[in-house]
């Protein structure tokens, strides 16, 4: 036991003298540097380690300089895709409704989404290729038919012959089909009216 105490004292001394800011001294104590001369040898490995890490740092800096940085080489591994196609819709000249809604006058016009149900005011028919006309506070008379539309769209004045005033309603028509939205504040999803071949023709911001 006496020997151990002596060794501890010796190591403490060595610590104070040579290894002020090096943790190797602490681990050497546990590792058991048995001979007194061993403490002296501690210094060299520490110096070597620090000089090796400096060398590694320099080497890494050279590598980074030569290859233009690690981030660059990582980026080169990624597949090169044209970034133009990933532009947000607002920058590509208009937004489309999804889903597409139609509604009465109480429903706000605009770009419809699942969370923002607005009625589309940019409708186009993919069957007759006409723009869909809208008439606020109107509904179609029951006598309205395909031939009437065929002969009168897109003349708004002539179409009024078969429109009835109805507060809160909104009448829609292309050259081949027609629809009256009720005064309900809840708009109609066009998917539940499959006979209407109307799509959103894009909204300009």
Cα–Cα distance, 154 to 49 (Å, whole number): 87
Cα–Cα distance, 101 to 118 (Å, whole number): 6
Q: Report the residue number, 38 or 154, with the smaller CB distance to Zn ion.
A: 154
Compute the least distance from the CB of residue 100 to Zn ion, in Å.
6
Q: Which residue is nearest to Zn ion (CB)?
A: 125
Q: Summarize as ranges the residues that interact with Zn ion (CB under 5 A).
A: 97, 120, 122, 125, 127-128, 174, 176, 200
Q: Report the residue number, 138 or 174, with the smaller CB distance to Zn ion.
A: 174
Compute the least distance from the CB of residue 111 to Zn ion, in Å.
6
Cα–Cα distance, 135 to 75 (Å, whole number): 55
Q: Report the residue number, 39 or 179, with the smaller CB distance to Zn ion.
A: 179
Q: Report the residue number, 113 or 182, with the smaller CB distance to Zn ion.
A: 113
Compute the least distance from the CB of residue 103 to Zn ion, in Å.
12
Compute the least distance from the CB of residue 163 to Zn ion, in Å.
17
Extended beta strands in the chain, E state:
101-102, 123-125, 133-140, 163-173, 178-181, 188-189, 198-200
As a whole number of Å, the CA-based R_g of the chain is 41
89-92 long-range Cβ contacts below 8 angstroms, 24+ apart: 90/205
**What is the number of alpha carbons within 13 Å of residue 172 lying toward its C-beta?**
27
Compute the least distance from the CB of residue 93 to Zn ion, in Å.
14
Among 170, 138, 163, which Cα is nearest to 149's? Answer: 163
Q: Report the residue number, 63 or 98, with the smaller CB distance to Zn ion.
A: 98
Compute the least distance from the CB of residue 131 to Zn ion, in Å.
10
Both structure tokens of 4: 């151990």
Q: Report the residue number, 22 or 200, with the smaller CB distance to Zn ion.
A: 200
Please return the burial class of 141, using the count of CB atoms within 10 Å of its CB with bins 0-12, 13-18 and 19+: middle
């Amino acid at each position: 036991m006496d020997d151990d105490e002596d060794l501890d004292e010796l190591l403490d001394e060595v610590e104070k003298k040579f290894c002020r800011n090096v943790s190797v001294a602490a681990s050497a104590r546990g590792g058991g540097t048995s001979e007194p001369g061993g403490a002296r040898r501690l210094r060299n490995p520490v110096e070597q380690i620090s000089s090796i890490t400096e060398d590694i740092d320099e080497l890494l800096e050279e590598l980074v300089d030569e290859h233009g940085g690690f981030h660059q080489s990582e980026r080169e591994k990624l597949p090169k895709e044209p970034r133009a196609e990933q532009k947000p819709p607002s920058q590509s000249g208009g937004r489309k409704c999804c889903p597409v809604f139609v509604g009465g006058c109480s429903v706000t016009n605009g770009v419809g989404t699942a969370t923002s149900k607005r009625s589309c005011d940019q409708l186009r028919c993919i069957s007759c290729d006409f723009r869909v006309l809208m008439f606020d506070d109107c509904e179609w008379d029951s006598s309205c038919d395909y031939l009437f539309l065929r002969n009168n769209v897109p003349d708004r004045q002539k179409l009024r012959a078969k429109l009835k005033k109805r507060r809160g309603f909104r009448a829609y028509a292309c050259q081949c089909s027609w629809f009256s939205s009720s005064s309900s504040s809840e708009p109609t999803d066009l998917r539940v009216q499959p006979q209407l071949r109307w799509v959103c023709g894009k909204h300009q911001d």
